[in-house]
Amino acid sequence: MTISPAAPLLQVRDAVVEYTRTDRPAVRALAGVSFQVAEGEMVGVVGESGCGKSTLARAMTGLAPLASGEILFAGRPVEPLRRRRRPARLLPLQMIFQDPYASLNPRRRISAQLADVIRATGKGAPGHRPIGDLLERVGLPAAAADRYPHEFSGGQRQRIAIARALATQPSLIVADEPVSALDASAQAQVATLLRKIAREDGVTLVLISHDLAVVGALCDRVVVMYLGEIVEDGPTERVWHAPRHPYTQSLLRAVPVPDGTGRKPMALAGEVPDPGRPPSGCRFHPRCPLAMDPCREEAPSHGDVDGGGSVACWAVHSPEARANAIRA
């Protein structure tokens, strides 16, 4: 794949995704999200349940049509997947789903499922790998091809799903909570595998997870979402050690650390609001310890911060507001 090094591999521009519901206002699961992924990067997306992480993943791969905005892959738009076959140029953009039990057809052998994908990608394509190789690449014996999904554990199934993605020779894999459904040891195994693939095969990875630790341990960059919006974006180290958005701060403080000291995590007040009726202004303000008048009235826009990345917060970007906040 040849793209100019300057252009990012994936660009999300002001993406909006809505789900319509009968009898109730539509949910804006993505309320104008913009970010980019450069080739070879490993980007993590974190946020609470329902904040739109999966929707973002689906939008990026074309499974969720955009209400507005655009998403470009390798410089060209990602068309939503309709009844037509997916265009070949989008095949390098793959996705891995959360539920390893649902992502394989329980009624077909592994070999049949992989063969379908290989055939679709084009058997003669350069660099194409036979099924056995694919399975070995993800740490399974080639003989596994003859078996049915129910004969595998969750971690193994997730590996098979990764093998299926690899069959298309992907350049970007969007992984939506790939390890959340797995046991601690399986989690580590699959996460390690993903990182290995990303490093060794040069696959760009967007990893979505509600588990901050997983993202922190794997990704170079972190994107923090809240209620359909990105509130903070930056290199993992900066976000971890100097989180600027009050939400990111709360999120980090809520993670319990297994050090045996008995230290209690800090709770974040309030509940995630109904995305169908988001709060005015900054969407986080009802739960924000630093909330002040401008927050209630106008949504903050993203501004760069020291140490890399950007944050959308009035308390960060308006000095006088900040002063007020501190005084209060």
Q: What is the largest CA-CA distance in the chain?
A: 68
Choose the stretch contacting another protein; rule: CB under 8 A; options: 6-14, 147-155, 295-303, 313-321.
147-155
The one-letter amino acid at 292: M
Q: Whole-angstrom distance between the N-terminal and C-terminal Cα of the chain?
A: 55
Q: Which is nearer to ligand ATP, 132 or 154 (CB)?
A: 154
The CA radius of gyration of the chain, in Å to the nearest whole number, is: 21
Q: Which of 10, 78, 191, 313 binds another protein (CB under 8 A)?
A: 191
- Interaction between residue 237 and another protein (CB under 8 A): yes
Q: Which is nearer to another protein, 270 or 303 (CB)?
A: 270
**Partner from another protein, ligand ATP, Mg ion, none binding residue 103, C-beta < 5-8 Å depending on class:** another protein
Q: Which is nearer to Mg ion, 54 or 189 (CB)?
A: 54
Question: Which residues are at the interface with ligand ATP (CB under 6 A)?
Answer: 19, 21, 27, 29, 47, 49-55, 210, 275
CB-CB neighbours of 14 under 10 Å = 14
Choose the stretch contacting another protein; rule: CB under 8 A; options: 7-15, 31-39, 205-213, 315-323.
205-213
Q: Which is nearer to another protein, 77 or 256 (CB)?
A: 256
**Contact map string, positions 9 to 48, toward Mg ion, x by CB under 5 A:** ----------------------------------------
Token code pair at residue 65: 């049509």
- Interaction between residue 169 and another protein (CB under 8 A): no
**Partner from ligand ATP, another protein, Mg ion, none binding residue 97, C-beta < 5-8 Å depending on class:** another protein
Beta strand residue intervals within 181-299, DSSP E: 204-208, 221-226, 229-235
Beta carbons within 8 Å of 162's beta carbon, 6+ residues apart: 96, 138, 178, 190, 193, 194, 197
Beta carbons within 8 Å of 302's beta carbon, 6+ residues apart: 230, 233, 310, 311, 312
Closest CA to 278 of 69, 66, 52, 57: 52
Binding site for Mg ion (CB under 5 A): 54
